[in-house]
Structure 1
Amino acid sequence: MRIFASLLMSASLAACASTPIATNAAPAAVTGDAWFDGAQSTLAQRKTVTHVKTKAKNVILFIADGMDPTTVAAARIYDGQSRGEEGEENLLSFERFPHLAMSKTYNTDSQVPDSAGTMTAMATGYKTRMGMISVKKESPVGDCEASLSAHAPTFVEIAEQAGLSTGVISTARLTHATPAATYAHVPERDWESDAALPEGAYEAGCRDIASQLIDFPYGDGVDFAMGGGRANFLPEDAQDPEDQERKGWRKDGRNLTAEWVAKSDKHAFVWNKAQFDAIDPAADPRVLGLFEGSHLEYEADRENDKAGEPSLEEMTRKAVEILSRNDKGFVLMVEAGRVDHAHHGGNAARALMDAQEYAQAVAAAYEMTDPKDTLIIVTADHGHTLTFAGYPAKGNDILGLVRYVNTEGENTLLPAEDGKPYTTLGYANGPGAVFKKGVDLLERPIGTEEEVKGVNYQQPSLVPLGSETHGGQDVTIYASGPGAYLFSGTVEQNYIFHVMMDALRLSPQTE
């Protein structure tokens, strides 16, 4: 196998030795070898990196839910191949950032985490239990009364008290774990509307996540909030504006979208693309955008949405345009929530497409801000079980079957021991498992080249599960701007909050 692998790698390098490597600086013509000269160019560029130690005016925290290093590598290649390149030399926008670290993601009670505990760490500086939203670990999960004295202040709350503008964006429901942890406090992540509160919780003083966004008590409230989850903001007798067969989920009769609009003449609610496009940043609006009853569409499906939805990049651009009008600065959290959902479905194509859009949103934010006064942090809350393997030749379609270059220089399928081909990407567990009832292992199912590249294809997995699980691996933190140099080595996930507070020169204990 080692000899075979060596032959494959040698053939790949020989076939592609003239391919230019992408770097941040023009390659110096030293040897004529693209990778050698590219490394020299990268070295020269890295020597020019300086540490920005001045106070940050703005902080933008980007979270791609479930985007572990394997997902980044696959998305990098997918992004390049979508432009007709081989893909391996490509870099996603944030991979050009000068500083990075690895983040440990475990929850205080779980080796493999969930998004509630991981985002709480980043949003508050406190690591906590799985399933809890900005509530300290001393409170048991689901215990309303205990949680009331264990609220952990979030960076959005602290920023509002300091007079900064604030924004929250997600392609998931705005009440989902990651966005919720920036503005809400609940001991159970599923308390997204009052209909999900257990008996006695409201009387004890606990409130659902959606209402906490509208009733946000700090500063002048969250200034910009966009995502999905309309049903959590509408009463159960209210018809959804986009889907006439759906109604709201609230049982308390509150129409939270109407309450948002009633706050001031500047407050506006939008639910479709036309209304989004009509928002005028010069009017200094306070905008709530809810574009779906539940999660937004995957990027692969967004153009087919009936009422239209803005892309993650478009929402990011609009947020920066509006929030940057505050001379004191702003903080913004942007989540690509559906990378995670696609992985749970064993659907790598949609995960990579959403990761690609996420990288474009990061590029937009970097372009619109000044690295001298804006700290941009790009990371993930946790990983997944995506695998990337099989000795495919360089430039092989990242979503395709494994093909290699044989000793005759021919590009050919690489069969497994059962004689059948297999895909480069797979999962350790999930719905694509072959080890499940009704599947004859002697007839391992595998699609054609066209089928496995399809957007709906579920990559093969080992352990059969209805939903693929999270992974416990570390994730990468990429950073640019004031305080970015503080990211190095391997750190606890809650360290991200402390760097943000230090960069903004704000006390992490403000409440």
Structure 2
Amino acid sequence: AIGVVTTAPITDATPAATYAHTPFRGWQSDIDMPAQAVAQGCIDIARQLVEGEATPEVVLGAGLAYLKPEADGGRRKDGRDLVEAWRRRGGASTVVSDLPELTASTTPRLMGLFSNGALPADADRAPDSATPRLPDMTAAAIRALSQNPEGYLLVVEGAQIDSYHHANDPRRALAAVAEFSQAVDAARRLTDPADTLIIVTADHSHSLVLTAGSDRKAPLLGLAGADGAPNKALDDAPYPTLIYGTGPSPTRPQAVARADGSSDADALRSVAVPLSSAGHAGEDVPVYADGPQAYLVRGVIEPTYVFQLIRRALSL
């Protein structure tokens, strides 16, 4: 069985790579397809989610608009309702719309797309929100997929770690990291390391750095400093504890720390080189593994080696 879980639209690049083939990641719905591509038989990513050879049994995340027709508030011009098409494709299928329905589901085939675009930032989530978090979706996916006696492959993406770093938003990005960590914890609680291989990695890093010279009392999302006083650059201006290499923020923070040392985190974003969107960084990213054959994850490895590990674990 195959499952895909993400906080981004289910047709975004990482989840789509689980089930779709396309020369361009932007072809998420038929409205995004150029006429030449359609004439040559190319199919948008959302249709491949339902009609492709590797249709997932579990689909949880966002991007409902890419699967719904314009008449229902979606982005599809062809009139297809791909949610209903997915439901009809297999037996014992359930489509859920909120956290209570997700938690109550017991079927092996499960779809839940909880917003038209990306899911709301976990940092801004209301305590009584009915929108599932990444740990909730991960747990529900494992409950559904584990009903298959032949095993399963589950891809879980904390997509907003990347999207908020692109916006130079460390408060929301770091909250998304914590949310992803909780999803990993959920996966470990619900599986047995004797028969389940869990791999955690990333496709790239970002240019966020922790500046030197601050003591432990300095606010992580505020101005750098020690002994209650902000650090100063050579031009006598304060600077934040966290700084991005590139991105849409100004080159100087726009707020001064309050007397109690706190500050407006969203106003303290700072970059070395201003760009419309932060660029990725180039250093190696970590890869962790637990479970059968996890010992094969060691040293410096190529990205395609991770695929070979998954393939070996599934005996493909």
TM-score (norm 2): 0.93
Deviation at 1:304, TM superposition (A): 7.6
Cα distance in 2 for partners of 1:172, 1:335 equals 8
Q: CA RMSD in A?
A: 2.0
Q: Please list, as runs of the form range in 1=range in 2, the aligned pairs for 1:18-37 lying within 5 A after superposition.
A: none
2:195 aligns to what? 373
Deviation at 1:420, TM superposition (A): 2.8
**Corresponding letter in the other structure for 1:424:** T
Deviation at 1:413, TM superposition (A): 2.5
Q: Any conservation in 1 of the 2:223–2:268 contact (CA below 8 Å)?
A: no
Deviation at 1:433, TM superposition (A): 2.2
2:304 aligns to what? 494
Closer, same or farther in 2 for the Cα pair 1:361/1:472, shift >3 Å? Answer: same
Q: Please list, as runs of the form range in 1=range in 2, the aligned pairs for 1:56-71 lying within 5 A after superposition.
A: none
Deviation at 1:499, TM superposition (A): 1.0
1:269-302 Cα deviation digits (max 9, x unpaired): 22223332332x2xx3311111111111110123
2:239 aligns to what? 422
Residue 246 of structure 2 aligns to a residue in which SS? strand
Q: Any conservation in 1 of the 2:250–2:271 contact (CA below 8 Å)?
A: yes
- State which of 49, 59, 67 in structure 2 corresponds to 1:233: 67
Identity %: 40
Closer, same or farther in 2 for the Cα pair 1:268/1:178, shift >3 Å? Answer: same
- State which of 297, 309, 322 in structure 1 corresponds to 2:131: 309
- State which of 255, 269, 274 in structure 1 corresponds to 2:95: 269
1:243-287 Cα deviation digits (max 9, x unpaired): xxxx211111101011122224411222223332332x2xx3311
- State which of 205, 209, 222 in structure 1 corresponds to 2:45: 209
**Corresponding letter in the other structure for 1:347:** D
Q: Please list, as runs of the form range in 1=range in 2, the aligned pairs for 1:154-173 lying within 5 A after superposition.
A: 165-173=1-9
Q: Please list, as runs of the form range in 1=range in 2, the aligned pairs for 1:63-462 lying within 5 A after superposition.
A: 165-218=1-54, 221-238=55-72, 247-279=73-105, 281=106, 284-303=107-126, 308-404=130-226, 410-434=227-251, 445-449=254-258, 453-454=263-264, 456-457=266-267, 459-462=269-272
Q: Any conservation in 1 of the 2:196–2:291 contact (CA below 8 Å)?
A: yes
Larger Rg: 1
Deviation at 1:485, TM superposition (A): 1.0
**Corresponding letter in the other structure for 2:240:** T
Mark the runs of 5 or more structure 1 residues left unpaired by the alignment.
Answer: 1-164, 239-246, 405-409, 436-443, 507-511
Residue 188 of structure 1 aligns to a residue in which SS? coil
**Corresponding letter in the other structure for 1:484:** A
Deviation at 1:452, TM superposition (A): 7.0
**Corresponding letter in the other structure for 1:469:** G
Mark the runs of 5 or more structure 2 residues left unpaired by the alignment.
Answer: none
Q: Any conservation in 1 of the 2:222–2:257 contact (CA below 8 Å)?
A: no
TM-score (norm 1): 0.59
Cα distance in 2 for partners of 1:469, 1:500 equals 29
